[in-house]
Structure 1
Amino acid sequence: MVNSMIDKATAIPVIMNKLKKLPIGHAIDLRTYKRNRSVVIARIGKDSFDVVEKGFHDDRFQLPLSKMKKLLKNLMKKEFPRSTKIRCYDLGESEADVHIRRKKI
């Protein structure tokens, strides 16, 4: 599981690049700096992704890569409104709806 910090200003192109290279069955987890809100994106097919939003809103989407950029813009505004950095975890082979505790106790 690889953790990296991404600037919010450049997050969408970086995430889109990661999604293009993501193998089928693997997922990435995007979190706020405080780790209290998340967006998990799993590749479930050649051109289909499962997105689970947990934070201010709890929602689930299934869409192709071509529609992902617009969804990411909306999710960034809703879930990471004041964040300047976004944590990005590479979950490896994982489901999108598996909740992983990231917040330190």
Structure 2
Amino acid sequence: MSFVMALISIESLRPHVLRLLAKVDPPAGVELLSFKRDRRVAVFRLPEERYLLVEQGFTRQECSVDASGLSRLLKATIKREFPRSHKVRVFKISSPEELIKTHPRK
């Protein structure tokens, strides 16, 4: 089940995401959406300290990375997908299958 966490400032986004990912159990993760919800980046925690980053926006790709490379990859991806954003929506999701759902507007 997913729920909206909040609108997070772009400056504090990367440490916030890394902190959330440290607390979840595999295969749960975090989804980042632009304010208009037209671009998304999802990061899932996998077993054995691996992470899956799914990018759906300006570019569409999936990357598997270990814990040491996650911060650097996340920084580059945030810069590419949210270049003019000041705030980003953060959702906690329980599995990769939840990416299919759209998040309703209130």
Same fold (TM over 0.5): yes
Q: Which has the higher helix share?
A: 2
Match of 1:47 in 2: 49
- Residue type at the aligned position of 1:74: A
Deviations, residues 22-48 of structure 1 (Å, cap 9, x unaligned):
211112110001110000111121301
Q: 2:59 aligns with which of 51, 54, 57?
A: 57
Cα distance in 2 for residues equivalent to 1:7 and 1:81: 13
Matched, 1:16 2:18: yes
In 1, the alpha carbon distance for the partners of 2:75 and 2:98 equals 21
Residue in 2 that maps onto 1:34: 36
SS of residue matched to 2:36: coil
- Note if contact 1:50-1:96 (Cα within 8 Å) is conserved in structure 2: no
Write the letter of the residue equivalent to 2:92: D
Is the partner of 1:14 in helix, strand or coil? helix
Report how many residues are paired.
103
Gaps spanning 5+ residues in structure 2: where?
Answer: none
Mapped to 2, the partners of 1:102 and 1:36 lie a distance apart of 11
TM-score between the two structures when normalised by the length of structure 1? 0.89
Query: Once the 2 structures are TM-superposed, how far is the Cα of residue 58 of structure 1 from its aligned partner?
Result: 0.3
Report the TM-score when normalising by structure 2.
0.88
Distance 2:34 2:57 in 1: 10
Question: CA offset at residue 96 of structure 1?
Answer: 6.4
Q: Which whole-Å CA distance do the structure 2 matches of 1:13 and 1:98 have between them? A: 22
SS in 1 for 2:54: strand
Identical-pair percentage: 26
C-alpha separation in 1, matches of 2:103 and 2:11: 23
Q: Which runs of 4+ in 1 moved over 3 A?
A: none
